[in-house]
Structure 1
Amino acid sequence: MISHYSEPAVASIGAANQLLNLMVFVYGFITIGTQIIIAQYIGANKLRDIKHVIHTALFGSFTIGMMISIVFFFFSKSLLTFMNLNEELIQIGNSYLQIFGGSLIISALSAVIIAILRTHGHTKPALLIPMTASILSVIGNYFVLYQPFGLPSFGVSGLAYSSVFGNMIGLIISVALLKRYIGFSIFSFRFRKISFPILKAILMYGLPSSGETLSYQGAQVVVTMIVASLGASVLIAKSYISAITQFVYLIASALSQGNQIMVGRDVGAGEFERAYNRGMRTTIIGASASLIICLITFIFIEPIMGIFTSNPEVIHIAKEVFLVEIVLETTRSINMILVGSLNASGDVKFPLICSLLVLWVISLPFSYSLAIWAGFGLVGVWIAYAIDEALRSILMIRRWRSRIWESKSLVQQTTTLDEVSV
């Protein structure tokens, strides 16, 4: 929809979304830590501790979400300047980032409630939350961009407002579902029920787990800065390609999330052999599915790109990139599933260390060298991505097969959450 409105807006919002995605994983450590702890305690049949986990998780997500919202509201222009955008793109994206970023406290609260519902097995009700928010946002986008019924055009700022509206309705639905399926009313929240030992446990598991993805998203911000120096056409192409790849790895992402919940329960119940086999089996299925989807996408990339743009330069760039994407997404699926499996078992530090080393020592220098020095442009960036994912996939397979993760389980180390200490 944005591409039919303004291609410079695509570049500007694409860069802004890199910052927003990064912040999602800043507050995501609360979500991931909560999910790991609840899954293991369900597996261990320690249900009485879960209400304390929910109280603490809501408090943590509210606090972090509020801090992030304040930063975006007051420093949106400075952040876009940091992204190496030109003045025109900064002016386009500033109001979008300020409004949408300033509302991330809503997203933070919804995310932790979705995690609670999913971990309890209520995945279909949890789907209703982002689905409703997305549908309302798309409808809102149509009204603010295309001026039906003679309405004024609100432009890029209108996109942010429609997203905020959709997310607010999603939060209201999530609160209702939390009460219906978990029996927890948001109005029963009490500060005295916040447990600092539980908060320590959430941080102990959530920070390294989310840190792996946070490191990746941080690297994406740096890559976007590199791509921005290659010109607007390349930045626009990256925005379109990134949107398409989200659908390409959708199945692997879904398998990773479902597998993480099940592995966490298996580990909590002490069923390590079942957890090991489940992790390996899901990895094979995910990699196979990703390979097939990538091949199909590569074959039909020209008509797919035609949905977004008729610019022959952008379409040519996309075609070259999606050839590399075949290797990238196949190995990415392995990482997504096995990193989720390791996190669910409590082995959270190893994926983080691997991510930091490979991403920042190998991937980013390769991105700059291949894109700028070698003159490969966006294709060079994607080759660096593929090298990064391939190296980490080898490390994750070796770690999972070593079975060191069996000694990392929270329930194997403590009797109750109140005994947890860092």
Structure 2
Amino acid sequence: MNTDQKKLSLFALTWPIFIETLLYMVMGNADTLMLSQYSDHSVAAVGVANQIIAVIIVMFNFIALATAVLVAQYLGAERKQHAVEVSLISIAVNFLFGLVLSSVLFFFGKPILYTMKLSNHLLTEANDYLMIVGGFLFIQALIMTIGAILKSYGFTRETMYVTIGMNILNVIGNYLFIFGPFDFPVLGVKGVAISTTVSRLIGLIVIFSLLLKRTKMPFSLSVLRSLPFHHIRDLLKIGIPSAGEHLAYNTAQMLITYFITWLGAEALTTRVYTQNIMMFVFLFGIAISQGTQILVGHLVGAGRYTEAYTRCLKSLRSAIVISITMASISFIFSRQLLSLFTDNEQIIETGRLLLLLTIVLEPGRSFNLVIISSLRAAGDVKFPVYMGILSMWGVSVAISYFLGIEAGLGLIGVWISFIADEWLRGLLMLWRWRSKVWMRKSLIPSIETA
């Protein structure tokens, strides 16, 4: 391992990732919080549209995830040229893929929304948001890919700074379009969508400049044409299974959202507000898991498997302790937090019950966040997918329908299904990590023969 990689530590990697992820969540919550001053129905419409967008982002993410793993392992093995080649190819591939999927959302967003059986008012606003944000989602695909590359090189602070700037621009844009100061046009959902898209475009320009400056990476059409495209095989080998796990989760969440629409707009709005608060609870787990993934990838690339094994378990313990603490704090202040979004007493009371259940839910989620990221970093990508599909659909979706709809427990039943799913998958992932099967999944053999 070279001297640059020796300087990497979990804390040094994680705190910028924490701030960056926090700000990404703030961007989403800023939309929700500021729209809540405009209309609860607009919040519900954007919430449904974002469920669809989340599925598309998962598809982009399969290249970004694979890029992060490959670049980290190549750097750990001190094969910098391979890391550069993978980085450039992944940017080109995700750009083209992003254009295709953005076009699908732009032209076919309304038929997709029809399947969610929204009321006409919600449908119109959701479609406006989907056409603008979804139609330019290829920008987010590029930001994700470039961000993954920078993080694998250890430049987590750079991606954090970009996210700070994007958030500031987004909040300013939201304020202008929602509240209309200085005779600015009040556009509501359309304005929020425009603000989100423009801030992302500016963020892309900045993060791409940082990539070229920090890594000295050559980037031109002639360079791209000369790249060995066999790296695409490894990107797909890791990316498709990884995306399968995320896709299974997001499509299951879409179906569960569909069930919730049967309970009415109030239940849908309650779910959006509560999950916005929950995002801050599992934020720490996300940051720890991403930092751990970078470290495990470097360690596996360098053949230091025992250190990789120990690193994952240490990170897991930290994530569990922090998640329980944050979930408990969120419940204690649940009334105040929910009151930031609404004064509807029914929404507040139901949301408080859901946040109480979150204290049980979040430790289970920590297992999945940390261990699945570590398994992925080691190249063991298929097992989490198989178990994920089995649990998310066989447990989460099934129990959501049975308890939430058939048994009449509503959102409480849905949250119980989330708990069962996260804990079942989490314990299975722990068993897999302790089995050490992942030690035979490293990409280093294919690197050596490349």
What interval of TM-score do these two structures reach, taking the shorter chain for normalisation? Answer: over 0.9
Q: CA deviation at 1:224?
A: 0.7
8 Å contact kept, 1:30–1:57? yes
Instruction: Give a deviation string over 1:214-258, Cα, whole Å, max 9, x none.
Output: 211111111110111100000000111111111111111000000
Match of 2:286 among 236, 250, 253: 253
Matched, 1:92 2:136: no
Q: CA deviation at 1:187?
A: 3.9
Match of 2:89 among 53, 56, 74: 56
8 Å contact kept, 1:175–1:186? no
Q: Which runs of 5 or more structure 1 residues have no equivalent in the other structure?
A: none
Cα separation, 1, equivalents of 2:323 and 2:317: 10
Q: CA deviation at 1:185?
A: 4.6
2:78 aligned counterpart, secondary structure: coil
Q: CA deviation at 1:128?
A: 1.8
Higher mean C-alpha displacement, 109-118 vs 205-214: 205-214
Cα separation, 2, equivalents of 1:91 and 1:184: 44
Which residue in 1 is equivalent to 2:55?
22
8 Å contact kept, 1:175–1:185? no
8 Å contact kept, 2:278–2:355? no
1:64-83 alignment, distance < 5 Å: 64-83=97-116
Which residue in 2 is equivalent to 1:225?
258
Cα separation, 2, equivalents of 1:129 and 1:186: 20
Which residue in 1 is equivalent to 2:13?
none
1:370-381 alignment, distance < 5 Å: 370-381=403-414
Cα separation, 1, equivalents of 2:240 and 2:217: 25
Aligned residue type for 2:140: S
Which residue in 1 is equivalent to 2:195?
162
2:230 aligned counterpart, secondary structure: helix
Aligned residue type for 2:435: S
8 Å contact kept, 2:35–2:188? no
Cα separation, 1, equivalents of 2:290 and 2:360: 22
Q: CA deviation at 1:341?
A: 0.3
2:448 aligned counterpart, secondary structure: coil
Matched, 1:112 2:129: no
8 Å contact kept, 1:18–1:221? yes
1:196 aligned counterpart, secondary structure: coil
Change (3 A) 1:194 1:63: farther
Cα separation, 2, equivalents of 1:267 and 1:84: 47
Cα separation, 1, equivalents of 2:417 and 2:222: 47
Q: CA deviation at 1:190?
A: 3.6
8 Å contact kept, 2:88–2:219? no
8 Å contact kept, 2:242–2:382? yes
Instruction: Give a deviation string over 1:149-190, Cα, whole Å, max 9, x none.
Output: 122211111111111110000000011101110112544664
Cα separation, 2, equivalents of 1:110 and 1:316: 38
Which residue in 2 is equivalent to 1:307?
340
Aligned length: 417
8 Å contact kept, 2:299–2:305? yes
Cα separation, 2, equivalents of 1:289 and 1:29: 28
Matched, 1:318 2:362: no
Cα separation, 2, equivalents of 1:233 and 1:321: 14
Cα separation, 2, equivalents of 1:124 and 1:18: 29
Aligned residue type for 1:406: M
Aligned residue type for 2:300: V
Cα separation, 2, equivalents of 1:174 and 1:271: 32
Match of 2:204 among 171, 195, 198: 171
Instruction: Give a deviation string over 1:258-316, Cα, whole Å, max 9, x none.
Output: 00000000101110000000000000100110000001111110000010000001001
Instruction: Give a deviation string over 1:345-389, Cα, whole Å, max 9, x none.
Output: 000000000001111112101000110011110111110000000
Higher mean C-alpha displacement, 127-136 vs 115-124: 127-136
Which residue in 2 is equivalent to 1:34?
67
Matched, 1:9 2:9: no
Cα separation, 1, equivalents of 2:426 and 2:59: 24
Instruction: Give a deviation string over 1:308-353, Cα, whole Å, max 9, x none.
Output: 0000010011011111111111110111000000000000000000
Cα separation, 1, equivalents of 2:447 and 2:79: 11
Matched, 1:45 2:78: yes
Cα separation, 1, equivalents of 2:265 and 2:174: 23
Q: CA deviation at 1:3?
A: 0.6
1:386-405 alignment, distance < 5 Å: 386-405=419-438
Change (3 A) 1:189 1:30: farther
Which residue in 1 is equivalent to 2:385?
352
Match of 1:180 among 213, 226, 234: 213
Cα separation, 2, equivalents of 1:296 and 1:343: 31
Which residue in 2 is equivalent to 1:366?
399
Q: CA deviation at 1:11?
A: 0.5
Match of 2:296 among 263, 267, 282: 263
Instruction: Give a deviation string over 1:57-101, Cα, whole Å, max 9, x none.
Output: 011111110111100110111121122212110011111110100
Which residue in 1 is equivalent to 2:11?
none
Two-structure CA RMSD over aligned residues (Å): 1.1
Cα separation, 2, equivalents of 1:405 and 1:413: 15
8 Å contact kept, 1:178–1:185? no
- What percentage of aligned pairs have identical amino acids? 39
Which residue in 2 is equivalent to 1:121?
154
Q: CA deviation at 1:131?
A: 2.2
Which residue in 2 is equivalent to 1:102?
135
What TM-score do you get using the length of structure 2 for normalisation?
0.91
Match of 2:320 among 287, 297, 312: 287
Match of 1:212 among 245, 270, 273: 245
Change (3 A) 1:151 1:191: same
1:5 aligned counterpart, secondary structure: coil
8 Å contact kept, 1:267–1:275? yes
1:375 aligned counterpart, secondary structure: coil
8 Å contact kept, 1:55–1:189? no
8 Å contact kept, 1:59–1:194? no
Higher mean C-alpha displacement, 199-208 vs 188-197: 188-197
Matched, 1:343 2:362: no
